[in-house]
Amino acid sequence: MLFKSLRLFRFTKSFDLSPEDIRTALESKRFHACASSEMFRCGWTSPLGRRGSELVHAADGRIMVCLRREDKLLPATVIRQMVEEKVDAIEQAEGRKVRRKERDRLRDEVTHDLLPRALARSAYTFAYIAAREGWLVVNNASVKKAEELVSLLRESLGTLPLQPLEMKTSPATVMTRWLQGADLPADFALSDECELRDIADQGALIRCKRQDLGADDVQALLNGGRQTIKLAIAWEDRLSCVLNEDLSMRRLRFEDVVQEEFGQIDRDDEAACFDAEFAMMALELARFITRLTEAFGGEAHEDYARSA
């Protein structure tokens, strides 16, 4: 499976656990479905889905894991309606006003009653450990989702010397300079989308899509104090994405030349196909991440990068 978004974490020390060590540690947090009284539950599941049972998948020195989260679906409108019905019944029967504290208790009771009958929905977050490069690469740009995976991984392993990617220079500053015409690395190209934030008013955002980013109106916004917090880029005609100001990435896409390479994988053996696709994707992303951090001026903690 190909990642569609990225959030990067840097190991602050070398990561020495083997796939077998990780597999054993993750067993204590293997996913089990929600109990009838639970709103949600998280745990580890096989990256190969129904095709496998092992909780890790190793290829070319990289180790993939997958977090599964199951949430009970309880629409707020349904809970609110049932609470209001109970409130109305109490107020009519007892001739008094139901206060906020009692409403909260009724809401808890309604939620508890509905949980055993609620439908459950699962979501999956994939990530892989690239020990040689010193990265944990999460297939989710959301801070909350990525941190949920990191937290469970740390809890499972007992320790996890990680920190979010930090750069020497603010990525927003670098992206703004690129839009203003500063030299762009030869292997990168700007696309046609960006998001600008007013430095003076942090809530004021302007989104540009399918725009010539070098046009006068875009430049006028930049000259007027806007800063680039999202920018669509392409790299070596091999992949493209939308970069966020923390260098997380959305809408990651492998371009035709890479897709053709993936297309040469033998699809008859699903497990072998997954293995080959994972190895090729991780190699491609390793090259891209290295160039990306270089293009943005290097990491804030170079000693972490060297020790990995």
233, part of any domain: yes
> What pLDDT, in 10s, does the model give residues 22-80?
999 999 999 999 988 899 999 999 999 888 889 999 999 999 999 999 999 988 999 99
Same domain (yes/no): 181, 273: yes
24, part of any domain: no
Exposed, middle or buried by CB within 10 Å (0-12, 13-18, 19+), for 99? exposed
The domain tally of the chain equals 2
Could you list the residue range(s) of the whole structural domain that residue 103 is in? 76-116
Same domain (yes/no): 208, 281: yes
Q: In the beta sheet, which residues pair with residue 127?
A: 65, 138
157, part of any domain: no
202, part of any domain: yes
Same domain (yes/no): 185, 105: no
Query: Given the DSSP bridges, would you call strands 119-130 and 162-164 parallel, antiparallel or unpaired?
Result: unpaired
Q: Which range among 112-121, 130-139, 148-157 shows the weakest confidence by mean pLDDT?
A: 112-121
Same domain (yes/no): 181, 109: no
Taking the model in full, what pTM does it have?
0.87
Tokens for 27?
């067993």
Q: Which residues contact 305 (CB under 8 A, 6 or more apart)?
A: 10, 134, 293, 299
CB-CB contact of 19 with 275 (8 Å): no
Same domain (yes/no): 219, 282: yes
Same domain (yes/no): 98, 194: no
**Residue 126 burial (CB count, 10 A):** 19
Same domain (yes/no): 183, 292: yes
Average pLDDT, the chain: 92
149, part of any domain: no
